[in-house]
Chain A
Amino acid sequence: METIRVQDISANDLPWKIEYNAERCTMCGSCVASCTFKAIKVDVQRKSMTFSQENQPEPVHIQKSIPVIKQIAEINNACRGCGMCERVCPNNAIRAVRNPDNRRNLLFNRPIKRGGRTNLNAQRTLDKIIVGRISQMTDPSLDAQRHTFDIRSPLGRILSPKELPFAISDGKLVANKKIPPVRWIYPLIFSDMSIGALSTRAWEAVALAAAYLNEKCGLPVRMSSGEGGMPVPLMESEYLKYFIIQIASGHFGWNRIIKSMPKMKVDPAGILIKIGQGAKPGDGGLLQAEKVAPHVQAIRGVPKATLSSPPNHQGLYSIEESVQKMHLSLNAAFGFRIPVAIKCAASSTSVSVYNNLLRDPYKICGGFFIDGIQGGTGAANEISLDHTGHPIVSKIRDCYLAAVEQGSQGQIPLYGGGGIGLTGNAAADAFKMICLGANGVFCGKILIQLLGCVGNEQGRCNACNTGKCPTGICTQNPRLVKRLDVDRGAQRIVDYVLAFDAEFRKLMAPIGNSSLPVGRSDALVSTDKAIAEKLGIQYVC
């Protein structure tokens, strides 16, 4: 008997095990070809067989070599559970099975990087909240199908009523000074996922969906570019108005953006300054070299290397700096015509940040985007994903109530993200967030899930950082990217947003509201006492 080498890695050490049925297998090889992680291989197995071919038992014992599909027991080739093998197998001969006894975390000899969402903090506060204030007799519920609903949220700095530069002429108000730009948009923003993090086709599919929703469905959905620039033809087209251009600490893509500015026919919907994100708070963007393909190098103006955006914007050493330098210069760059908003990772300090922004004398911050711990990412250290960050629900509430306290609610629109649509129902999540004080929500992960991403919060796939995305969404490998059908992907997103809109009305109607119930916490109740107390809503049981 061979000596057992316990330090060797076996398939049983890996998070996913391949369950293979040799009898069903036709040896077509599709599974091996489809596995982007090279987690399985064709191997030859010695098989000991005893059989009899005569009328009387005359056992014959032979040793035979047969080809089989075998899991590769290597950390670098660990099965991610994406299920592509099962998807392509004509005979249901193979599938990946979760291995609860895996030793993955112990066996990695370096910090684990991955994409996806936190797997450790996937708890759902929003599911313990119910829309519990129903219009019954005291006031009528509305009709979700027949009444009109104004589902729009502001993006831009809103002045307090007394600051409005209005004069009265013949009893009519006239503006005698410029009012900061505000866009009224759909309360669901397609969150920032860059070209680079996403394949060009995936980014295109999301962009196509955004444009379609605007042009054909009348829903002013806006999409954030992510920190990776935008295609020049898009920037020079009429469709730019549907996009919020992001600037993050690496300033990737801004060379092209600045060069395109003189040729822009329309203004973008806004600028989003990314300070941080919920999935990896305190870190800058991360695009691993595997994904820095030639076109990404061209857009970003970089060589093929891992692109780590700095954790901070260089030269900004305080929030006042941020407001003065970045907000002012970006406002100025676009002639003070477009809102400039800021996105931060949710943190215990979010209220302080919000207070600072509310009190800035230039009144120049057009939105505060707070990204919670359940936000997704293309790449982050797993330790950041699972162990750093802050849940979004109470943070939005805290910020809203801080503004209420000083009478400045609504002046800087609040957008919450990070886990919106985690269980698939973004409308319910968004509605509850809005009742708690958000003006709107942003979501990214659910969009790529609609495109076909199979990742989840139970450790499935989460390989967005590797360049080996099996669905062609988070990879720049041209062969893999072809797996994604842009039009069908975009259609999925459009259909989902249309369903979101219908469901949103189904939530507005019973509480009797025809415009967004921002801060209408009385519409919510909670079955969890601690949550009710923290959020200041009614506890029910």
Chain B
Amino acid sequence: MCRIGAVKSKKPIYPSTALRLMLPQQEGHDNSGFAMVMQDLSGVFSLYKDKPLLSMACTKQGARLVEDYMSAQNFVKMAEWLPVPDKKKGLDIQNMPYYIFRNYDYPEHYDDEDSREALLLDTRLALRKILTESGQGYVYSFWPDVLTLKEIGDPRDIATYFRLWDDNGTLLAKNIIVQCRQNTNYKIVRYAAHPFFLQGYTLCANGENTFYTKNKEFQKNLHRGYIGFESDSQNFLYTLHYVLHELKWSIPYYKHVITPLPFAEIENRPDKEILLSIRQSLAHLEINGPNTIIAGLPDGKMMTCCDSKKLRPVVVGGDDNIIAISSEVCGINEILPDRNMERDIYPNEREVVVINNNLEVTRWKQ
């Protein structure tokens, strides 16, 4: 079982907080990787929050290919942060030669939000294609105010390598979604490590989506950004994106899509016509199997919900300044030992928990 976590804070926090959330949960588990998506950044990226930030890992040639492509597309390089790794011996990390985090300015004539969103996605997809075909690297996200870091190895060592333990003022964010394990079911591929990211939506999932084939076959035709499918958890992200971004429905309907109510319960609902229509038309996006989802939304909100039988754990706990979502409570105890534990939330199978930017928690049953 993967352990997943997220920290949302009023003040920017370091990735070390997210690591401390995760490490107590690593017992009995293979420590095979580290992946995080940071949103609402501070530190080195504070000045360029409105400019898309490219997060990638590549070879020298890969970096050149990307640079060529970006300049051909008239993107203007604004700022860049290249981590200076701690290359001490004995670290368990399968590092790539280069890690590039670079802000660009939009090319001319991309003034409205829709065309920018489309451009950023298409650019990331094009870069991914270039890097995959040449075997020269990986691109994880290209979006304003979002940074993604993924690597294979022991999370502690990966953090050492990137100097994440130093809390040195470079990387900070108000929202961090994190996972400390590589894909274990299939081949170890960097793209298979959650959190996954698409157009402002970040998601990681802990579990097994037994409707993977159904989901994948349906999603392939829904949107050009629904690609990869290296992990069955990508399905959750694509459905989240589809429901909220494409259909423009509100969050409660996401839960109705992935874990629809049983027919007997729908029958007694005042909105049964809507719920039945959703269950019908989005039947192939239903998930089955044990799962917990943690997601970050473009506006900074965070949410969590579970499968319809509550087969995987999750707990939400925090105080006025910081709230964490975690697979296991030991992680939250590590970073927030003094919080009022009686206010911890253990969401049930029908519940959705949403945390807004003021750290107000809303929870409801679907």
Within 8 A of A (CB), among B62-107: none
A148 CA / B264 CA spacing, docked (Å): 11
A295 to B299, CA, bound (A): 71
Please indicate the chain A residues that have their CB under 8 angstroms from the CB of B311 in the complex.
139-140
Whose C-beta in chain A lies nearest to the C-beta of B214? A519
Does B122 touch A at the CB level, under 8 Å? Answer: no
Residues in A whose Cβ lies below 8 Å from that of B274: 166, 173-175
Task: State the Cβ distance, A413 to closest chain B Cβ, in Å.
Answer: 9
Q: Classify chain B's interface size.
A: 35 or more
Whether the pair A139, B284 counts as a contact (CB closer than 8 A) is no
Is there contact, CB below 8 Å, between A407 and B222?
A: yes
Question: Is the beta-carbon distance between B284 and A410 smaller than 8 angstroms?
Answer: yes
Q: Known interface pairs A174-B274, A406-B221. Does A139 touch B208 (Cβ–Cβ under 8 Å)?
A: yes
Chain B minimum-CB-distance residue to A519? B214
List residues of chain B with CB within 8 A of the CB of A139: 207-208, 210, 289-290, 311
CB-based contact B283/A168 at 8 Å? no
Within the complex, which residue of A161, A164, A184, A519 is in contact with B217, where a contact is CB–CB below 8 Å? A519
User: What's the Cα separation between A515 and B214 when bound, in Å?
Assistant: 12
A168 to B252, CA, bound (A): 13
Q: Is the CB of A161 within 8 A of B185?
A: no
A513 touching B288, Cβ below 8 Å: yes
A-facing residues in B272-287 (Cβ within 8 Å): 273-274, 276-278, 280-284, 286
Q: Determine if A454 is an interface residue (Cβ-Cβ < 8 Å).
A: no
Task: Specify which chain B residues have a CB less than 8 angstroms from the CB of A174 in the assembled complex.
Answer: 274
Are A184 and B248 in contact (CB-based, < 8 A)?
Answer: no
Which of A139, A159, A513 has its CB near the most chain B CB atoms (within 10 A)?
A: A139
B340 at the interface (CB under 8 A from A): no
CA distance A139 to B246 in the complex (A): 31
The distance in angstroms between the C-alpha atoms of A172 and B246, with both chains bound, is: 16
> Which single member of B185, B207, B308 contacts A514 (CB below 8 Å)?
B308
Within 8 Å by CB of A154, from B185, B247, B278, B280, lies B280
A517/B211 in contact, CB under 8 A = yes
Judge whether A138 and B211 touch: CB under 8 Å: no
Residue of B nearest to A403 (CB): B217
Q: A150: which of B262, B273, B280, B289 is its contact (CB, 8 Å)?
A: B262
Q: Roughly how many angstroms separate A194 CA and B222 CA in the complex, as a whole number?
A: 43
Q: Which residues of chain A are within 8 angstroms of B185 by Cβ–Cβ distance?
A: 138
B281 touches A158 (CB 8 A): yes
Supposing A150-B263, A514-B288 touch, asked if A410 and B249 sit within 8 A by C-beta, the answer is no
A residues contacting the other copy or chain, number (CB 8 A): 43
Q: What is the CA–CA distance of A109 and B280 in the complex, to the nearest angstrom?
A: 54
B11: Cβ under 8 A from any A Cβ: no
A142 an interface residue at 8 Å Cβ cutoff?
A: yes
Residues A407 and B289 in contact in the complex (CB < 8 Å), given A139-B207, A182-B280, A522-B212: no
Residues of A within 8 A of B217 (CB): 404, 409, 519
- The answer to whether A171 touches B250 (Cβ under 8 A) is yes
Please, which residues of chain B bring their CB within 8 A of the CB of A407? Answer: 218, 220-222
Contact B220 A184 (CB under 8 A): no
Q: Considering the complex, give the chain A residue whose CB is closest to the CB of B285.
A: A161
Q: In the complex, what residue of chain A is closest to B262 when comparing beta carbons? A: A150
Per-residue CB contact flags for chain A residues 159-184 toward chain B (1 = under 8 Å, else 0) read 11111101010011111000100101
Name the residue of chain A whose CB is nearest to the CB of B286: A515
| Cα A517 to Cα B213 with chains together (Å) | 10
Contact yes or no, A511 B247, CB < 8 A = no
Contact bitstring A510-527, B, C-beta under 8 A = 1, else 0? 011111011111100000
Whether A147 sits at the interface, judged by CB under 8 Å, is yes
Chain B, 224-252, CB within 8 A of any chain A CB: 242, 246-250, 252
Closest to A154 in B: B280
Contact between chains at B218 and A409 (CB < 8 Å): yes
A sample of 13 cross-chain residue pairs with beta-carbon separation below 8 angstroms, ordered by A number, consists of A139-B311, A150-B263, A152-B263, A159-B277, A160-B281, A161-B281, A171-B252, A174-B274, A175-B277, A407-B220, A512-B290, A513-B288, A521-B213
- Residues of B whose CB lies within 8 Å of any CB of A are 185, 207-208, 210-214, 217-218, 220-222, 242, 246-250, 252-253, 260, 262-263, 271, 273-274, 276-278, 280-284, 286, 288-290, 308-309, 311
Known: A162-B247, A407-B220, A512-B210. 4 other contacts (CB 8 A): A172-B250, A173-B274, A175-B277, A410-B280
> Across chains A and B, which 3 residue pairs bring their CB atoms closest together, nearest first?
A407-B221, A139-B208, A171-B250
